[in-house]
Amino acid sequence: MNRARALFVKTPDECVQLIIERVGPDLRVATPLAVGKPNQLLNALYQRVKQDSSLSLTLYTALTLEKPKGRSDLERRFVEPMAARLFADYPDLDYEVDRVNGRLPSNVKVIEFYFPAGKFMENRHAQQDYISANYTHVARDLLDRGVNVLCQMVAIRQASDGSADVSLGSNPDVAVDLMTAMRSSGRPVAFAAQVNGQMPFMYGDALKSADDFDFVVEDSRWDFPLFAPPKTSVPEAEFAVGAYCSALVRDGGELQVGIGALGDAVVYSLLLRHQRNEEYCRVLRDLGVFDKFGPLLDRLGGAESFSEGLFGASEMVVDGFYHLFKAGVIKRKVYDDLPLQRLMNEKLITEMVTPETLVHLVARRAVHVRLTFEDTRYLKQWGVFHERVKWNDGHLELVNGDRRIPNLEDPATRQWVMQYCLGERLKGGAVIHGGFFLGPRSFYEGLHQLTEDERHLIQMRSVRKINQLYGHEELDRLHRKDARFINTCLKVTLLGHVVSDALEDGRVVSGVGGQYNFVSMAHALPDGRSIMNLRSTRGSGSTLQSNLVFKYGHVTIPRHLRDLVVTEYGVADLRGKTDSEVVGALLNVADSRFQEALRREAVRAGKLASDYRIPEVFRQNRPEQYLRVLEHYRHQGLFPPFPFGTDLTEMEIVVGRALKLLKKRLHQPRELAAVFWRGLKVNPQEARYRLPLERMKLAEPRSLKERLYQRLLLGALVGSGR
């Protein structure tokens, strides 16, 4: 039965009324994570329910993004002017503003499966209404909870015949599977789209007909910029971690990498490896990478520039993937066809179409010796035959009318086919598969500026296809040869448990997302590896603590899935190792200020021999070790604090650096007092301090609190190098 055409409306309020008429007063609404949310439509829906107690709204989503506000008075002085400049045209989600301020009405509930890191640590309603789920299970779980509405932001392209294609843009991740299952649920459901001209038009599973939706809000009044968090600086420790990770990546393999400073550091080192290889190798040598971990890196990765290039597959496509793509690092094309992909992996064919391409496809029985209509369609689909070849009454026919019965056993026909029918390059390949994207403004601008050919190389897909092998395993195993899944965690225990999403008291920091899936997949692939990276310590001064601990009361990745762990001090290979070997390997990459205490704890638990000693080569794991190396190369223009630029102003960078120092000292009374004392010695009228003080509205303090803030900020500016 043909579905009805989509109903186009001009306002979100009209769409809300249609949704309620379709599904009734109990609204169970799914909406994408991150930038795929149709903000004005969701705001209209929320306000309608807020004003009508006969309606109820349960909103299912993740990663709700909000204009930064600042938690303290000092933070607000810094954040609010920046937010006004960078997010002036971004409409906040009304439900999020009310949730953060504890003002959600009783007939509204917001349930999420992933938080912005650390945002809701003290919000009891958000903590109680969190679903802990693998990303691949979200669609299933939402169906079980009776979701009856899907609201999505889309891009649109009108066709000459009056039809329209829409692109789910950033977020086919869950929507693709959810739409199919909701339609077959047998209950009233509504799919509503809001068109936004700022959303890049992407392909793959993201490509839909407008008629796949029931209601479409289309009016340029509702266009708004995608949420674009400004790039933050990459600290030195992260750069050291990134250097190690980059050498674990094998040319010709597959890459998944996460968001944040550690992800940026990995991407930067991969670019350095490809574009400035001699300097890259010198950096690794000076960090001691080759001396300490050379055999491991030779076995698993490499330090050469990328010849074959990488294939990228990640639930989240970060801007780093765009940089790697434009630099020619991510360039290995994969094809959703088993015979073609097998031949590519075996290096029997290349992207360039030659007579051997067709010969091998015949030999693998991908097509018949006597070509059929379906064979011809297949060969044209993948570019083995050019588009001008036609099938006509059992013959292959060229535009000049020349035609042959396509029997490749006939030498003359085979020669004719090879000479006149073959294309130049294979078609339909992709270099990136992604579930959703998020990044700075420059990233979205870059996506908009891609040529159509480049855009087709980035295929947005259901997260079910990205994060697991099930259902498409044979093809994915070919795509994901030498896969490296690089993810960030909070802590690692000495037995190899990984802590990524929550604290041991149960409070959720972020979420599981796809991390478990990627770790499990690394073990399922014969040449895949999971790489967990983290800084070895957190805090400073009297609050310094090790992120490598003997035990912890919460686990995200259990120790039977332990694999590679990377800190700023090196790589611990834990796969297939005994418990004592795992403990020893992790001690080797721990900060030396904590190594002995950790060793003693492992000995007391019977996991290390009492006479075990940490090798001398690993007993100098202190920040000075990598800081000295990185500082040397910074003088040569490498490892800049903002390797991919930033939307922050120079003054915001200066003040932000000082505020970070202050934040580190908040729970260290002596160190905070030292900062204040240093600030008392500074003349606030000096030109180099006047502008930062004016930026924070502290140049002319009007109260005791503002005088205190002024002196703390001055001390922090001095301490941060201003």
**Residues 257-297 pLDDT 10s:** 988 899 999 999 999 999 999 999 999 999 999 999 999 99
| Position 645 in a domain | no
Q: Measured on CA atoms in the order 631, 635, 637, 640, is the torsion positive or negative?
A: positive
Strand boundaries in 461-609, DSSP class E: 483-488, 491-493, 498-499, 529-533, 537-538, 545-546, 548-549, 564-567, 570-573
In-domain check, residue 628? no
Scanning 545-649, the segments in alpha helix (DSSP H) are 579-588, 592-604, 623-634
Segment (H or E) for 26:
strand 26-30
Q: What phi and psi values does residue 549 have, to the nearest 5 degrees?
A: -130, 160
Q: What are the residues whose beta carbons fall under 8 Å from the beta carbon of 282, sequence distance 6 or more?
A: none
Q: Do residues 34 and 177 both lie within one domain?
A: yes
- Shared domain for 191 and 160, answered yes or no, is yes
DSSP readout, 472-487? SHHHHHHHTTTEEEEE
**Is the Cα dihedral 460, 448, 317, 527 positive or negative?**
positive
Give the CA dihedral 665, 666, 670, 671, nearest 10 degrees: 20
Phi-psi region of 592 (alpha: psi -120 to 50; beta: other; left: phi over 0): alpha
Structure tokens at 314: 């990640």
Average pLDDT over residues 185-189: 92
Closest alpha carbon to 506 in 209, 223, 173, 127: 127
371 burial type by CB count under 10 A (0-12 exposed, 13-18 middle, 19+ buried): buried
Q: Are 389 and 396 in contact (CB under 8 A)?
A: yes
* Number of separate domains in the chain: 4
Average pLDDT over residues 501-529: 96
CA dist 47 and 346 (Å) reads 58
Quote the pLDDT of residue 398: 94
User: For residue 488, what is the domain's CATH number?
Assistant: 3.40.1080.20
Q: Are residues 153 and 74 in the same domain?
A: yes
284 and 257 in a common domain: yes
| 514 three-class SS | coil
Question: What's the pLDDT score for residue 700?
Answer: 92
pLDDT at 533 over 50: yes
H helices of 94-159, in order, are 94-100, 124-128, 138-144
3-state secondary structure of 346: coil
Helices (H) and strands (E) in the chain, counts: 28, 26
Q: Which of 37-41, 538-542, 642-646 has the lowest mean pLDDT?
A: 538-542
Joined tokens for residue 431: 């270099």
Confidence of residue 1 (pLDDT cuts 50, 70, 90): very low
pLDDT band at 456 (very low <50, low <70, confident <90, very high): very high
Q: Counting beta carbons within 10 angstroms of the beta carbon of residue 377, is it exposed (0 to 12), middle (13 to 18) or buried (19 or more)?
A: exposed
Last residue of a domain, one of 399, 420, 441: 420
Task: Classify residue 347: in a domain, yes or no.
Answer: yes
Does the residue 293 lie in any domain? yes
- Percent of the chain past pLDDT 70, that is, above it, reads 99
| Amino acid at position 517, single letter | N
How many Å apart are CA 642 and CA 636, to the nearest integer? 15
581 with 607: CB under 8 angstroms? no
Other C-beta atoms closer than 10 Å to the C-beta of 414 total: 19
Q: How far is CA 480 from CA 220, 232, 332, 448, 643, in A?
A: 41, 31, 11, 28, 28
Residues 6+ apart with CB under 8 A from 381: 427, 428
Unique residue bearing structure tokens 């503002």: 706
Q: Which one has a higher pLDDT value, 186 or 528?
A: 528
Place of tokens 């989503």: 61
Single-letter residue type at 361? L
Quick one: 500 and 360 in the same domain?
no
Residues 496 and 612 in one domain: yes
**pLDDT beyond 90 at 197:** yes
Check whether 161 has a pLDDT greater than 80. no
Residues 6 or more apart whose Cβ sits within 8 Å of residue 342: 364, 478
Residue 632 lies in a domain: no
Query: Is position 643 within any domain?
Result: no
Q: What's the whole-number mean pLDDT along residues 70-89? A: 92
445 lies in a domain? yes
Integer angstrom CA distances of residue 591 from 75, 102, 623, 684: 31, 41, 8, 39
- Digit-coded pLDDT (tens) for 474-491: 999 999 999 999 999 999
Q: Average the pLDDT over 86-110 and give the result.
A: 96
CA distance 560 to 532: 14
pLDDT of residue 34: 93
As a whole number, mean pLDDT of residues 30-36 equals: 96
Q: Mean of the pLDDT values across residues 361-386?
A: 97
Gyration radius of the chain over CA positions: 28
pLDDT digits (tens, 9 = 90+) for 286-339: 999 999 999 999 999 999 999 999 999 999 999 999 999 999 999 999 999 999
pLDDT digit string, tens, across residues 400-420: 999 999 999 999 999 999 999
Residues 609, 675 share a domain? no
At 32 the pLDDT is 97
522-550 mean pLDDT: 94
Mean pLDDT of all residues belonging to the chain = 95
Q: What is the DSSP letter of 200?
A: -
Pair (388, 253) in one structural domain: no
| Confidence grade of residue 3 (pLDDT, cut at 50, 70, 90) | low
CATH, residue 201: 3.40.1080.10
65 and 183 assigned to the same domain: yes
Query: How far, CA to CA in Å, does 162 sit from each of 154, 213, 216, 220?
Result: 18, 16, 15, 19
> Cβ–Cβ contacts within 10 Å for residue 665, how many?
23
| 719 contacts 712 by C-beta, under 8 angstroms | no
What mean pLDDT is predicted for residues 75-101?
95
Q: Does 636 map to a domain? A: no
| Sign of CA pseudo-dihedral 680, 685, 689, 690 | positive
Mark whether 394 and 442 lie in a shared domain. no
pLDDT band for position 21 (cuts 50, 70, 90): very high
Q: Which range (358-362, 423-427, 635-639, 681-685) has the least confidence?
A: 681-685
Q: What is the pTM of this model?
A: 0.94
Burial pattern 433-447, b for ≥16 Cβ within 10 A else e, equals: bbbbbbbbbbbbebb
Q: Annotate 76-108 with DSSP letters as a single string.
A: HHHHHHHHHHHSTT----HHHHHHHTT---TTE
Tens of pLDDT, residue by residue over 337-352, are 999 999 999 999 999 9
**Same structural domain, 184 and 267:** no
Domain that holds residue 269: 236-333+431-623
* pLDDT, tens digit (0-9, with 9 covering 90-100), for 568-601: 999 999 999 999 999 999 999 999 999 999 999 9
CA 628 to chain centre: 31
pLDDT of residue 664 exceeding 90: no
Q: What is the pLDDT, as a whole number, of residue 160?
A: 72
Residue in 82, 81, 85, 87 with CA at minimum distance from that of residue 67: 87
Region 689-707: what's the mean pLDDT? 93
Query: When comparing pLDDT for 14 and 71, which is higher?
Result: 14
pLDDT at 541: 81
- The predicted pLDDT at position 719 comes to 82
User: What is the mean pLDDT of the segment spanning 702-706?
Assistant: 93
**Of 65, 62, 46, 61, residue with least CA distance to 103:** 46
- Which pLDDT belongs to residue 229? 94
**2 has a pLDDT exceeding 70:** no
More confident residue, 284 or 539: 284
Q: How confident is the model at residue 722 (pLDDT cuts 50, 70, 90)?
A: low
Question: Left (φ > 0), alpha (ψ -120 to 50) or beta: where does 287 sit?
Answer: alpha
pLDDT for the residue 224: 97
Q: Do both 152 and 139 map to the same domain?
A: yes
The yes-or-no verdict on residue 215 having pLDDT over 60 is yes
